[in-house]
Amino acid sequence: MNINNRQEKLIDYLYDEMNKEDRAAFEMELQADASLQKELQQMKQVRSHLQSIPDVDLREPLVIPATTPPAATHRLRWLKPFYGVAASIAALLLLGAWTGLHVEAGKGELVLAFGKSVHTRLFQMKHPLRRKSRNTWISIYRPIRSRLNRWLTPPNQRCRTGSASNKILLNRWYPINTWFSPGQ
């Protein structure tokens, strides 16, 4: 029996991982070999000492989530912090469209108005150059607002053609115009 084979058999015998035939053969060897018997007894003694070490109690069991957390690896995950900002901007745009908000800027002035803005004579007199800039703005803004208004209007309430009809619609949809307009 070579040394490695001897160790292997000794360990298998010690831990009872030997089949019946091998076990019987090893026991025969044991009877004939005093040093093997001694080694086996010493190993058994070490095992008995090792078994005297008790288990330790885990006093506070871990709190672990009941479900498996998914491996979140979505490609657009980095956009998540901006969702709130985007939603706020969208809400503001919708609110602006619904209230007919329009903004005029130019010549060092900023005008915010709901619905159709009407400039008083006094306003125009004070700033003769403003009218030009306002007309420029209106030429850009009104067609957009008109289309948006048409798009927001239910099909059965839409006017077929004509800006005059649209104006009526505008007043019906945005009665707030009449509250803030100083009168013409």
Partner 1 sequence: MDHWQQRIYNLAYKMIGDEAVAKDILQKTFIKVYQHLHKLEEADKFRPWVYKIAVNFCNSELRKTKRTESLTEVHAGMVSSSITSEHRVEQNELKDLIWQTLGQIPEEQKAVIIMKEYEGFKFQEIADILDISINTAKSRLYYGLRSMKKLLSENPHTKAYYYEYQ
Residue 149 to residues 7, 52, 93: CA-CA distances in angstroms? 92, 87, 13
108 is an interface residue for partner 1 by CB under 8 A: no
- Span interacting with partner 1, options 38-46, 102-110, 156-164, 172-180, rule CB under 8 A: 38-46
34 binds partner 1 (CB under 8 A): no
Query: Does residue 47 interact with partner 1 by CB under 8 A?
Result: yes
Buried b (16+ CB within 10 A) or exposed e, 95-134: eeeeebbbebeeeeeebebbbbbebeeeeeeeeeebeebb
- Minimum distance of partner 1 from residue 56's CB (angstroms): 5
The nearer residue to partner 1, 62 or 164, going by C-beta atoms, is 62
Q: Evaluate whether 117 touches 141 at the Cβ level (below 8 Å).
A: no
Residue 31 interacts with partner 1 (CB under 8 A): yes or no: no
Q: Applying CB under 8 A, which of residues 38, 107, 150, 158 lies at the interface with partner 1?
A: 38
DSSP state of 78: G
Establish if 61 lies at the interface with partner 1 (CB under 8 A).
Answer: yes
